[in-house]
């Protein structure tokens, strides 16, 4: 018995110490294929690097604040009702990302300014004041000659008082002219009315 166990152990030990056979894959190296793929890689990288400046130019444009000399209000959303975050001086440089359909431009900071006060050349001078793209000028309850001008432009009875009839006419005008529909006459609505 001992002999049998010893011979099985010796046989197993000899098999374990034998050199294992390695099966390596044969490599087919074709030089002309390597050159073609390297040229394609360099061409791809070159085209990518060449297109980066054009892509950046398409994403953002440089503009300047062009007001009547006062500052341009920066808002948190594309609306006259949005909170004012700051004021940009006339001639300030802006990086505009997108023009929104309701008359505001989104800046690279994510804030908004009135598009009509952004130009391609810098403005001149600085006049202190409330600023443009500012607060709503006429709303329900307003009265006076400016209300009469708006009512005449809209073709509603001229009472001099901004009531529900005038507000409805303003909303319809804003809707038909692609403006922000809020029923209030602010700078953009005033310009669209020709006032």
Q: Identify the band that residue 195 occupies on the pLDDT scale cut at 50, 70 and 90.
A: confident
Label residue 192 exposed, middle or buried (CB < 10 Å: 0-12, 13-18, 19+).
Answer: middle
E strand spans, 43-92: 61-65, 72-75, 84-88
Give the pLDDT confidence score for residue 128 in this predicted structure. 40
Q: What is the pLDDT of residues 10-63, one digit of tens each?
A: 676 666 555 666 666 776 766 666 566 666 666 666 666 666 555 444 445 677
What is the distance between the alpha carbons of residues 54 and 124, in angstroms, rounded to a whole number? 30
How far is 167 from 146, CA to CA, in rounded Å? 14
**Residues contacting 71, CB < 8 A, separation 6+:** 65, 87, 88, 89, 90, 126, 128, 129, 131, 132
C-alpha span between 119 and 106 (Å, rounded): 14
Which residue did the predictor score with more confidence, 110 or 68? 110
Do the Cβ atoms of 66 and 60 come closer than 8 Å? no
Q: Are 120 and 64 in contact (CB under 8 A)?
A: yes
- What ranges do the domains of the chain cover? 59-119, 145-193
Fold of 59-119: SH3 type barrels. (2.30.30)
What percent of the chain has a predicted confidence (pLDDT) above 70? 58
| Cα–Cα distance measured from residue 151 to residue 146, given in angstroms and rounded to the nearest whole number | 9
Per-residue DSSP letter, 81? T
Distance CA 161, CA 154 (A): 14
Confidence (pLDDT) at 157: 86
């Amino acid at each position: 018995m001992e002999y049998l166990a010893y011979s099985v152990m010796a046989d197993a030990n000899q098999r374990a110490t034998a050199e294992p056979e390695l099966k390596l894959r044969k490599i087919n190296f074709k030089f002309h294929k390597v050159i073609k793929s390297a040229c394609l890689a360099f061409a791809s990288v070159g085209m990518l690097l060449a297109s980066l400046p054009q892509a950046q130019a398409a994403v953002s444009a440089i503009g300047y604040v062009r007001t009547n000399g006062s500052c341009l209000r920066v808002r948190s959303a594309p609306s006259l009702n949005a909170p004012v975050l700051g004021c940009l001086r006339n001639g300030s440089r802006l990086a505009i990302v997108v023009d929104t359909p309701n008359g505001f431009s989104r800046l690279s900071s994510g804030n908004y300014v009135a598009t009509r006060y952004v130009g391609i050349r810098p403005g001149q001078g600085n006049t202190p004041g409330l600023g443009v793209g500012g607060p709503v000028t006429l709303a329900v309850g307003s009265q006076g000659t400016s209300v009469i001008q708006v009512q005449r432009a809209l073709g509603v009875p001229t009472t001099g008082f901004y009531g529900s009839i005038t507000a409805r006419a303003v909303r319809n005008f804003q809707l038909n002219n692609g403006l922000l529909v809020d029923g209030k006459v602010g700078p953009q609505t005033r310009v669209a009315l020709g006032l």
